[in-house]
Amino acid sequence: MKKILLTGGAGFIGYHLAKHLANQEDVKIILADNLWRGQMDEDLKELLKNEKVEFLEADVTDPKFYESLSKDFDQVYHLAAVNGTKLFYEIPQEVLRINTLSLIYLLEWARNLDKKPKICFTSSNEAYAGALSAFNSLPIPTPEAVPLIIEDTYNPRWSYGATKAIGEMFVIYYSKAYNIPAVIVRPHNFYGPRAGFGHVIPQMSERITKKENPFIVYGSDETRTFCYITDAVEAMQILMDSPVTDKIPAETFHIGATDEINMLDLAKKLFEVTGYNPEKLDIKPGLAGSVKRRLADITKIKSSVKWEPRTSLDEGLKKTYEWYKNKF
């Protein structure tokens, strides 16, 4: 039996990843979460009816948690982190503390095991988001080898990106020093049902549901790609199960879609999906520190493990809005 630990297992990615992994034969999945941001909602309760999935309410920044764990895990997906742009500005000190300590204690636990579990660390495109402003030469599409840049340490927006940049280094050098198999993934705007309410698609969906008029669009010319969550967790699972990623030290892979869209066109696409047409748009600038353009180069993951996203943005937005429209 393959035994898998998911930290942050009650969160957006954790829930969908556990649901995906539970389709495998002969697997046991342990979800660890303190339920500060993740929720024991009806979706998670339904998932926990599956005998393959178990839930532990735990603080992953407490080293005692790792002392209580069994020593026979085959894989660990480290998803626990404080995410959400609003929180970067409101509690940057907690973003830094939680994201860094949880990873350090996990790696310290793993290094002392006789049987080293393979670890997946979820980094972020925020780790290199400052490169465009710093150098004005960020390659688009952006490959994994791009410099990791924290643009301004006094702007709390970069608290999250800083934890992901240093987190990548922790994983690389613990992997190398202690022979821990690991892979680093950089998610690029995963979206879908149960993604919380602090990201652009849920926020737009909420304002559409409430018939906002004039409809506000922030950073209308900023571009992103959006990767639907079922495609994203499949990519993570394929990377973890592939012998291609058994190399030490850990390698980094971008996970994302390729259909770049600006925020104004994203709003218009959601209007089409939902059938809501506001009489007027109110175009406002993006938040301070917001990145103008993001487009991941996914050549490496496509060539290494033959993964690429399958869900179109139209299809994904329809599924996402259907889940969200009764949640506000």
Pick the CATH number of 2-192+227-258+295-310 from 3.40.50.300, 3.40.50.720, 3.40.50.2300, 1.10.460.10: 3.40.50.720
Backbone φ and ψ of 280, nearest 5°: -145, 145
Which tokens sit at 328? 């506000």
A 10 A CB-CB count for 233 gives 23
Residue with tokens 């190399």: 247
Strands (E), the chain: 2-7, 27-33, 53-57, 75-78, 118-122, 182-187, 190-191, 215-218, 223-224, 227-228, 251-255, 261-262, 281-284
Tens of each residue's pLDDT in the chain, 328 residues: 999 999 999 999 999 999 999 999 999 999 999 999 888 999 999 999 999 999 999 999 999 999 999 999 999 999 999 988 889 999 999 999 999 999 999 999 999 999 999 999 999 999 998 876 666 667 889 999 999 988 889 999 899 999 999 999 999 999 999 999 999 999 999 999 999 888 899 999 999 999 999 999 999 999 999 999 999 999 999 999 999 999 899 999 999 999 999 999 999 999 999 999 999 999 999 866 577 888 999 999 999 999 999 999 999 999 999 999 988 7
The pLDDT, as a whole number, for residue 328 is 79
Reported as a single tens digit per residue, the pLDDT across 286-321 is 866 577 888 999 999 999 999 999 999 999 999 999
Domain boundaries, the chain: 2-192+227-258+295-310
Strands (E), 40-135: 53-57, 75-78, 118-122
215: CB partners within 8 A, 6+ apart: 207, 208, 267, 278, 280, 281, 282
Residue with tokens 């209007």: 271
The pLDDT, as a whole number, for residue 289 is 58
Return d(Cα 76, Cα 322) in angstroms, integer.
Answer: 32
The pLDDT, as a whole number, for residue 310 is 97
- Whole-structure pTM over 0.85, yes or no? yes
Mapping DSSP onto H, E and C, the string for 167-201 reads HHHHHHHHHHHHCCCEEEEEECCEECCCCCCCCHH
The pLDDT, as a whole number, for residue 288 is 61
Nearest to 320 by CA among 215, 195, 133: 195
> Which H or E run includes 203?
helix 200-209
Which tokens sit at 132? 């465009």
Cis (ω within 30 of 0) for the bond into 214? yes
